[in-house]
Amino acid sequence: MYRVLAHHKNEYGEEAEIIVDVPGVVTLLGAYSDFCSGHAIMCTSTQGLRLAISRRSDNTVRVYNHTIQDRKRFQLSGLKCKADDRWIGAIKAVFLSLLHDGVQLPGMNISITGRTAHSDYDTLSASVAAGFLIAFNEILKLNLSVSDMLRIAHSCNLYSNNQFRLRDLLTLFIIRRQELVFFDIESYDYKTLSNPFDENLSVYILDCGIPKNILSEEETKVKEETKQAMQNLKNARADVKLRDIVPRRLKYQRGLISEEGLRYANFTLTENLRAQSAWDALISKDPVKFAKAINEQQESISSDLELSSPEIDWLIKRNLENPKVLASTLIDTGLSGQIFILGEKGLKEEYRDKLDEYERIFDFHASIREFFPTGGVRILRDDEAL
C-alpha cells in the first residue's frame, strides 16, 4: 500500500502528479440501519486505498490495480458502464459524472493499491468516488466545494451497478483522526466524538484471513432479503416509522412476513437501538455498557442473521473465553471476517499462540492489529507515499 509511487513509475514510466489516501470505512454498529432509516456509528481505518494519477496527452484512461494485479483501459469518448465492469465500473462512473457536469477531462494513467481493492464493489465505489474527486479537484483546478464533490460523487450511482451508501461517502469527507461519527440516517444529521475509547483499554481488529467468497455471497443474500423484509414491514405498518417499531411487537406481523423475514427485521430494529445505546455509552465513558451493546450485536448476528462460519465461531469463542476481552463482534468494513475486539492493553501479544492454533486447524492465516480511528480522505506528500 505504501509503494504506490514506485508501482506507478514502474507501470507507466513516469512520476505521479498526485497521490491520494482514502481510508477504509468501518461501520461499528448500524450496518443494516439503512433499511429502517435508523442510526449508525462509523469511523475510518488505515486499511484503505491509495491512488496515484498522472495526465496523458490523449483521451485514454489506463488503470493498474496493483493489489489484485489487474489492468484496465477505456476511452473517454463514448464512455459508458457495462454490466460486467466489476471494479472498473466505479472508476468509469466518476468520469461519467464529471463529464455530465461539463468538466473537460484528459486521459490519465492511474495506479491503485490497498486493502479496499478487495472490498465489495459498493464499498469500493464510495472510496473511489471520494479519492478521485479530491485528486481531480486538485490537479485540474476545478474549485469544487465539499458539497459539490458529495453531489457529484452521489450521482455516480446513476451510472454504475455499484450502489454505495451516502453515509460511507460522508464519513470519508467529514471525519477527523481519532473520531467516531454517529449518523441519523433519516436526516443525515451527524455528531462526532474525539478519543472515544477508554484510555485504559485498547481496540483491535482481528482479520480471520478467510477467502472473500466464504461469507460475502451469504452476506449479500441476507442484506437483500432484509431489505425486502423491511419493505414488507413498511407496507404492513404504514402508520409508523420503521425505526420506531418496537422489536418485541414484530410477533404481530406473523403471517404477513415470513419467519426468516421477522428475524431479519428484528436484527435491523434492535441494531438501531444498540447503536444509540452504544453511542450514549461512549459519550458517558461507560465501557461496560458499550461492551454490552457490542456483545449483543454478535449474538444477534449469529441468531437472527445466521451469518457465521466455523472459522469465525472459533475465533469469537476464543475471544470471549479471554478474561481480558470485554467485547467482540463482526463488523462491516467491506471485507469479510473482520472482528472488532475491545480489551485490555497488550492483548495483541497474547494472541500469537491462539492464531497459530487457528492456522493449524483451519489453514487460514489470521492477523490482529491495534485499531486507531484515522481521518478522512486526503492528498499525500511524496514522502508520505513511499
Yes or no: say if 82 and 91 are a contact pair by the CB < 8 Å rule. no
Mean of pLDDT values over 279-287: 96
Question: CA distances (Å), 294 to each of 52, 276, 368, in order?
Answer: 37, 12, 18
Using DSSP's 3-state secondary structure scheme, residue 180 falls into strand
Mean of pLDDT values over 31-39: 97
Distance CA 248, CA 47 (A): 38
**Given this model, what pLDDT does residue 66 score?**
94
CA dihedral of residues 117, 170, 84, 34 (deg, nearest 10): 110
Mean pLDDT over each residue of the chain, to the nearest integer? 92
Query: Is the pLDDT at 12 greater than 90, yes or no?
Result: yes
For 301, residues 6+ apart whose C-beta sits below 8 A from its C-beta are: 267, 307, 308, 329, 330
**Given this model, what pLDDT does residue 227 score?**
96
Using DSSP's 3-state secondary structure scheme, residue 65 falls into strand
Distance CA 216, CA 320 (A): 24
Yes or no: say if 27 and 294 are a contact pair by the CB < 8 Å rule. no
Query: Is the pLDDT at 282 greater than 90, yes or no?
Result: yes
Q: Grid coordinates standing for 318?
A: 476464543
**Given this model, what pLDDT does residue 116 score?**
85
Strands 325-330 and 201-207: unpaired
Residue owning grid cell 471520494: 130
Residue owning grid cell 491520494: 20
Query: Is the pLDDT at 386 greater than 60, yes or no?
Result: no
Q: How many alpha carbons lie under 13 Å from residue 12 in its C-beta half-sphere?
A: 28
Q: How many alpha carbons lie under 13 Å from residue 353 in its C-beta half-sphere?
A: 3
Looking at the chain, the domain(s) classified CATH 3.30.230.10 span 4-196+375-384
Instruction: Please say whether the structural domain 201-370 has been given the CATH code 3.40.50.880.
Output: no
Using DSSP's 3-state secondary structure scheme, residue 369 falls into strand
Query: Is the pLDDT at 2 greater than 70, yes or no?
Result: no
**Given this model, what pLDDT does residue 1 score?**
41
Task: Render 201-250 in DSSP notation, one character per residue.
Answer: EEEEEEE----HHHHHHHHHHHHHHHHHHHHHHHHHTTTS-GGGS-GGGG
Query: Is the pLDDT at 382 greater than 80, yes or no?
Result: no
Residue 360, classified by CB atoms within 10 Å of its CB into exposed (0-12), middle (13-18) or buried (19+), is: exposed
Yes or no: say if 229 and 259 are a contact pair by the CB < 8 Å rule. no
**Given this model, what pLDDT does residue 255 score?**
82
| Residue 83 banded pLDDT, cuts 50, 70, 90 | confident
Higher pLDDT, 385 or 49: 49
Ranges 23-37, 211-225, 360-374: which has the least confidence: 211-225
The DSSP call for residue 58 is: S
Distance CA 322, CA 342 (A): 11
Query: Is the pLDDT at 220 greater than 80, yes or no?
Result: yes
Using DSSP's 3-state secondary structure scheme, residue 43 falls into strand
Over residues 286-343, the pLDDT tens digits come to 999 999 999 999 999 999 999 989 999 999 999 989 999 999 999 998 888 899 999 9
Distance CA 277, CA 372 (A): 22
Distance CA 151, CA 130 (A): 11
Task: Render 283-345 in DSSP notation, one character per residue.
Answer: HTT-HHHHHHHHHHHHHHIIIII----HHHHHHHHHHHHSTTEEEEEE-BSSSSSEEEEEEET
Looking at the chain, the domain(s) classified CATH 3.30.70.890 span 201-370
State which amino acid sits at residue 54.
S
Over residues 222-244, the pLDDT tens digits come to 999 999 999 999 999 989 999 99
Secondary element (H or E) of residue 70: strand 70-75
**Given this model, what pLDDT does residue 276 score?**
98
Distance CA 364, CA 93 (A): 35
| Residue 384 banded pLDDT, cuts 50, 70, 90 | low
Query: Is the pLDDT at 62 greater than 60, yes or no?
Result: yes
Query: Is the pLDDT at 383 greater than 80, yes or no?
Result: no
Ranges 67-76, 82-91, 142-151, 155-164: which has the least confidence: 155-164
Using DSSP's 3-state secondary structure scheme, residue 114 falls into coil
For the chain, how many residues are written?
386
**Given this model, what pLDDT does residue 142 score?**
96
Q: What is the pTM of this model?
A: 0.92
**Given this model, what pLDDT does residue 119 score?**
82
For 317, residues 6+ apart whose C-beta sits below 8 A from its C-beta are: none
Q: Can you name the CATH fold of 4-196+375-384?
A: Ribosomal Protein S5; domain 2 (3.30.230)
Over residues 344-359, the pLDDT tens digits come to 998 888 898 999 999 9
Query: Is the pLDDT at 193 greater than 80, yes or no?
Result: yes
Q: Grid coordinates standing for 333?
A: 468494513
Mean of pLDDT values over 182-203: 94
| Residue 69 banded pLDDT, cuts 50, 70, 90 | very high
